[in-house]
Structure 1
């Protein structure tokens, strides 16, 4: 039996697809301009916009990377070499390039290309 579902007053249906390219480019600029400090913001905006499980998992992952990078900054000395430096560099790259790349390469659910 297929019964129609009545939306409650004020309920907003979930959006399909991804934001247009100019909006995604602005979102991708946030982690680059903030040098990774705000790396989780574009993924959170995309997760709030689309609301899919994959978007929320990506937002969770990038938030964890940003938090780990903040702890890495706070707990390591200024002049670091070796493994600590490599970890810092990896977290910085994931927080900036990874976050920007995620927003630019995000695709619509079940669709081909995002545009």
Structure 2
């Protein structure tokens, strides 16, 4: 049975507040790039699980929604696409690949 644990006043939280270091951040930043945005939510979700701030969770939700929207866009858009459907596809692809990687590198450094 799990017992409730009381933290003494001034005690530090057991949850780490940042990612372990630069190699871990770079490795996580490569995940969206290597998966072409399919796993664009992984870096922000990892950061939210590690630090647990409200902004981190909102960012994780944003990148998860962009990844899901991009998957739906892929499934519902014909192969030969032009105009606004193509522009939406490019924007979602850029957000889930480049945006997710850049966010992790910037937010991981700002958390120090």
TM-score by length of 2: 0.85
Aligned length: 101
Report what 1:23 is aligned to.
24
Distance in 2 of aligned mates of 1:59 and 1:65 = 10
Distance in 1 of aligned mates of 2:55 and 2:87 = 28
| Structure with a larger share of its residues in helix | 2
Report what 1:111 is aligned to.
none
Instruction: Output aligned runs, 1:1-115, within 5 Å.
Output: 6-7=6-7, 13-106=14-107, 107-108=110-111, 114=112
- Structure 2: 5+ residue runs without aligned partners? 8-12
- Structure 1: 5+ residue runs without aligned partners? 109-113
Q: Tell me, what secondary structure is at the counterpart of 1:38?
A: coil
Structure 1 runs (4+) deviating above 6 angstroms are none
Distance in 2 of aligned mates of 1:24 and 1:90 = 24
CA-atom RMSD in angstroms: 1.5
In the TM superposition, what whole-angstrom CA distance separates every residue of 1:70-104 from its partner, at most 9, and x where no partner exists?
00000000000000000000000000000000100
Distance in 1 of aligned mates of 2:100 and 2:20 = 16
Distance in 1 of aligned mates of 2:18 and 2:96 = 24
Contact 2:18 2:50 in 1 (8 A): no
